[in-house]
Protein backbone atom coordinates (compact mmCIF):
# COMPACT_ATOMS: atom_id res chain seq x y z
CA UNK A 1 0.00 0.00 0.00
CA UNK A 2 1.09 3.57 -0.68
CA UNK A 3 2.10 5.50 2.42
CA UNK A 4 1.48 9.25 2.71
CA UNK A 5 3.95 11.29 4.78
CA UNK A 6 3.27 14.89 5.72
CA UNK A 7 5.69 17.43 7.09
CA UNK A 8 5.89 19.23 9.34
CA UNK A 9 3.51 17.68 11.85
CA UNK A 10 2.85 21.12 13.27
CA UNK A 11 3.81 24.72 12.63
CA UNK A 12 3.25 28.14 14.10
CA UNK A 13 3.20 31.21 11.87
CA UNK A 14 2.12 34.83 12.00
CA UNK A 15 -0.93 36.32 10.36
CA UNK A 16 -0.01 37.24 6.80
CA UNK A 17 2.77 34.67 6.53
CA UNK A 18 3.16 32.22 3.68
CA UNK A 19 2.83 28.66 4.94
CA UNK A 20 3.91 25.51 3.11
CA UNK A 21 2.95 21.93 3.95
CA UNK A 22 4.52 18.98 2.18
CA UNK A 23 3.05 15.57 1.40
CA UNK A 24 5.14 12.73 0.03
CA UNK A 25 3.72 9.49 -1.34
CA UNK A 26 5.75 6.28 -1.24
CA UNK A 27 4.70 5.64 -4.86
CA UNK A 28 3.16 7.80 -7.58
CA UNK A 29 -0.50 8.76 -7.18
CA UNK A 30 -1.14 9.87 -10.78
CA UNK A 31 -1.90 13.30 -9.27
CA UNK A 32 -5.01 11.91 -7.55
CA UNK A 33 -4.10 13.93 -4.49
CA UNK A 34 -6.48 15.89 -2.28
CA UNK A 35 -6.01 18.28 0.63
CA UNK A 36 -8.47 18.69 3.50
CA UNK A 37 -8.86 21.21 6.27
CA UNK A 38 -10.26 20.19 9.64
CA UNK A 39 -10.93 22.94 12.14
CA UNK A 40 -11.21 21.99 15.83
CA UNK A 41 -14.49 20.20 16.48
CA UNK A 42 -15.52 20.26 12.83
CA UNK A 43 -15.87 17.82 9.94
CA UNK A 44 -13.05 17.65 7.37
CA UNK A 45 -13.51 19.93 4.39
CA UNK A 46 -12.11 19.33 0.91
CA UNK A 47 -9.84 22.19 -0.14
CA UNK A 48 -7.98 20.95 -3.21
CA UNK A 49 -8.27 17.96 -5.52
CA UNK A 50 -6.26 16.67 -8.45
CA UNK A 51 -3.22 18.10 -6.67
CA UNK A 52 -3.89 21.71 -7.67
CA UNK A 53 -7.60 22.31 -8.37
CA UNK A 54 -9.30 24.51 -5.80
CA UNK A 55 -12.66 23.25 -4.57
CA UNK A 56 -15.51 25.68 -5.17
CA UNK A 57 -15.80 28.29 -2.43
CA UNK A 58 -12.28 27.83 -1.07
CA UNK A 59 -10.35 31.11 -0.71
CA UNK A 60 -7.71 31.73 -3.35
CA UNK A 61 -4.97 32.08 -0.73
CA UNK A 62 -4.95 28.27 -0.70
CA UNK A 63 -3.07 26.56 -3.52
CA UNK A 64 -1.72 23.12 -4.30
CA UNK A 65 1.15 21.99 -6.44
CA UNK A 66 3.28 18.99 -7.19
CA UNK A 67 3.17 15.79 -9.17
CA UNK A 68 4.23 12.18 -8.97
CA UNK A 69 5.12 11.61 -5.34
CA UNK A 70 5.75 15.11 -3.96
CA UNK A 71 2.99 17.61 -3.30
CA UNK A 72 2.64 20.94 -1.52
CA UNK A 73 -0.21 22.90 0.04
CA UNK A 74 0.48 26.62 0.34
CA UNK A 75 -1.44 29.21 2.30
CA UNK A 76 -0.23 32.49 0.87
CA UNK A 77 -1.55 34.95 3.48
CA UNK A 78 -2.29 33.10 6.70
CA UNK A 79 -5.49 34.22 8.42
CA UNK A 80 -6.72 33.49 11.95
CA UNK A 81 -9.55 31.36 10.52
CA UNK A 82 -6.97 29.06 8.90
CA UNK A 83 -6.09 27.56 12.28
CA UNK A 84 -6.76 23.88 11.61
CA UNK A 85 -5.18 20.54 10.88
CA UNK A 86 -4.52 19.84 7.22
CA UNK A 87 -4.44 16.38 5.65
CA UNK A 88 -3.38 15.09 2.28
CA UNK A 89 -5.00 12.00 0.75
CA UNK A 90 -4.34 9.83 -2.26
CA UNK A 91 -7.45 8.71 -4.09
CA UNK A 92 -6.31 7.02 -7.28
CA UNK A 93 -7.19 3.61 -5.89
CA UNK A 94 -8.05 1.97 -2.56
CA UNK A 95 -6.82 2.26 0.10
CA UNK A 96 -7.50 6.00 0.01
CA UNK A 97 -4.80 6.74 2.57
CA UNK A 98 -4.50 10.02 4.45
CA UNK A 99 -1.31 11.67 5.58
CA UNK A 100 -0.71 12.09 9.29
CA UNK A 101 -1.82 15.70 9.36
CA UNK A 102 -0.21 19.10 9.89
CA UNK A 103 -1.50 21.31 12.70
CA UNK A 104 -1.31 25.02 11.85
CA UNK A 105 -1.39 27.56 14.64
CA UNK A 106 -1.04 31.33 14.83
CA UNK A 107 2.07 32.71 16.52
Residue 53 within binding range of another protein, rule CB under 8 A: yes
> How many CA atoms are closer than 13 Å to the CA of 15, on its beta-carbon side?
3
Residue 44 within binding range of another protein, rule CB under 8 A: yes
Query: Minimum distance between the CB of residue 7 and another protein, rounded to whole angstroms?
Result: 14
Residue 101 within binding range of another protein, rule CB under 8 A: yes
Is residue 90 within 8 A of residue 2, CB to CB? The reply is: yes
- The binding site for another protein (CB under 8 A) comprises 32, 34, 36, 38, 43-46, 49-50, 53, 55, 85, 87, 89, 91, 94-101
Amino acid sequence: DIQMTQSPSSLSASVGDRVTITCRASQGTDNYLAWYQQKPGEVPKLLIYAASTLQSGVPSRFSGSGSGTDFTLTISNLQPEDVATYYCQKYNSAPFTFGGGTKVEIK
